């Protein structure tokens, strides 16, 4: 006697589609690899001229408009975390002979976000290859997948590097159709993660202080509907303010007074008009702080 299971093929197909949806993105497409390569190439080409270095994630990448801040370089990297920022500074600061200050962007999800522990972990392969950022946890990266990504990195020639002379390039991608409440909830989850990443901020502070550089921590602007889905900024950033900050200033732009909703491309990234306004404001505030010191 045979047993026939009706619909088994359709169940299998649904399972296969589900597995494909949850398969990790290797971030080995040419657009992303050229983006990182371009940052690296421009950084190396301009290292002797850099006085101000912007670090961390897409908030920095979208937010610091380098043409409005002479001597600056935008080394913000998509989904870069505090660990990545620390390693970039730790690895490269000695070659930055004229560096005076670091501008670190610190958003809602910064306290708990760890790139190596997310579905975007394979971005770290390009960050390691092009910018010498070591893996926070080597066991999270499949060696065969890493080798394939590195092979693609090696095929990108310097003529293809186009991330702007000082690390900023006009942004055209924004999360315009995102569910604001869901995005805020995801960011809040990272904000409240128990094993947070602030140890890397503390280590960065120590190293910057040792090198007698200044650190400016920027809380980037956010759109009003996004802010309305979150607790007060005093609760969101209480861990940041609890750290002993020596030779450091916090520049709070969270409530968007600098750029307004019209200057935002999506919930938490400025468009180019907003980036210009934000950068002019940061340059002015930093000049006032250093002028009164």
Report which of residues 243 and 280 the model is more confident about: 280
| Weakest-pLDDT range from 10-14, 88-92, 104-108 | 10-14
Percent residues over pLDDT 70 in the chain: 89
Q: What pLDDT, on the 0 to 100 scale, is given for residue 25?
A: 87
What secondary structure letter does DSSP report for 16? H
Cα(28)–Cα(123) distance, integer angstroms:
8
Q: What pLDDT, on the 0 to 100 scale, is given for residue 19?
A: 44
Q: Which residues pair with 128 in a beta bridge?
A: none
Residue in 83, 100, 243, 235 with CA at minimum distance from that of residue 254: 235
- Which residue shows structure tokens 């002979």? 97
Can you tell me the mean pLDDT for 134-156? 96
Chain segment 182-229, per-residue pLDDT in tens? 999 999 999 998 767 999 999 999 999 999 999 999 999 999 999 999
Q: Is the pLDDT of residue 8 over 80?
A: no
Cα 255 to the center of its chain, rounded Å: 20
Q: What pLDDT, on the 0 to 100 scale, is given for residue 2?
A: 47
pTM of the model: 0.90
Q: Is the pLDDT of residue 62 over 50?
A: yes
Q: What pLDDT, on the 0 to 100 scale, is given for residue 196?
A: 77
Work out the angle at residue 26's Cα, subtended by the Cα atoms of residues 44 and 119, and round it to the nearest 5 degrees.
105
Can you tell me the mean pLDDT for 135-150? 97
Domains of the chain: which residue ranges?
Answer: 24-291
- Within a 10 A sphere around the Cβ of 90, how many other Cβ atoms? 17
Chain segment 218-265, per-residue pLDDT in tens? 999 999 999 999 999 999 999 999 888 777 999 999 997 899 999 999
- Within a 10 A sphere around the Cβ of 28, how many other Cβ atoms? 19
Alpha helices in 116-177 (DSSP H): 123-131, 143-154
Residue 266, C-beta contacts closer than 8 angstroms, at least 6 positions apart: 174, 175, 176, 178, 223
| Whether 218 contacts 63, CB under 8 Å | yes
- Judge residue 216's burial from the number of C-beta atoms within 10 Å of its C-beta, 0-12 exposed, 13-18 middle, 19 or more buried: buried
Q: What pLDDT, on the 0 to 100 scale, is given for residue 33?
A: 95
Fold of 24-291: Rossmann fold (3.40.50)
Q: What pLDDT, on the 0 to 100 scale, is given for residue 90?
A: 98
Report which of residues 159 and 30 the model is more confident about: 30
- Which residue shows structure tokens 């809380």? 219
Q: Is the pLDDT of residue 21 over 80?
A: no
Q: What is the mean pLDDT of the chain?
A: 90
């Amino acid at each position: 006697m045979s047993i026939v299971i009706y619909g088994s093929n359709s169940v299998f197909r649904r399972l296969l589609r589900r597995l494909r949806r949850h398969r990790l993105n290797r971030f080995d497409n040419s657009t992303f690899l050229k983006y990182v390569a371009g940052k690296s190439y421009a950084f190396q080409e301009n290292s002797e001229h850099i006085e101000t270095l912007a670090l961390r994630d897409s908030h920095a990448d979208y937010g610091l408009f380098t043409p409005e801040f002479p001597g600056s370089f935008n080394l913000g990297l998509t989904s870069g975390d505090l660990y990545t920022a620390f390693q970039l500074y730790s690895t490269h600061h000695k070659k930055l002979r004229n560096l005076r200050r670091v501008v670190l962007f610190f958003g809602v999800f910064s306290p708990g976000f760890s790139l190596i522990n997310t579905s975007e972990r394979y971005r770290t392969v390009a960050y390691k290859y092009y910018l010498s950022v070591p893996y926070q946890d080597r066991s999270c990266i499949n060696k065969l997948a890493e080798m394939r990504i590195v092979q693609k990195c090696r095929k990108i020639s310097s003529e293809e590097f186009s991330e702007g002379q000082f690390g900023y390039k006009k942004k055209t991608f924004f999360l315009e159709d995102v569910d604001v409440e869901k995005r805020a909830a995801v960011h809040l989850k990272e904000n409240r993660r128990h094993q947070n990443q602030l140890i890397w901020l503390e280590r960065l502070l120590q190293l910057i202080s040792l090198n007698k550089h200044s650190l400016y921590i920027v809380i980037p602007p956010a759109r009003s509907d996004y802010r309305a889905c979150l607790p007060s900024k005093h609760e969101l950033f209480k861990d940041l303010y609890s750290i002993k900050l020596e030779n450091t200033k916090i520049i709070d732009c969270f409530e968007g007074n600098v750029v307004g909703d019209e200057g935002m491309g999506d919930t938490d990234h400025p468009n180019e008009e907003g980036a210009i306004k934000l950068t002019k404001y940061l340059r002015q505030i930093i000049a006032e702080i250093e002028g009164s010191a």
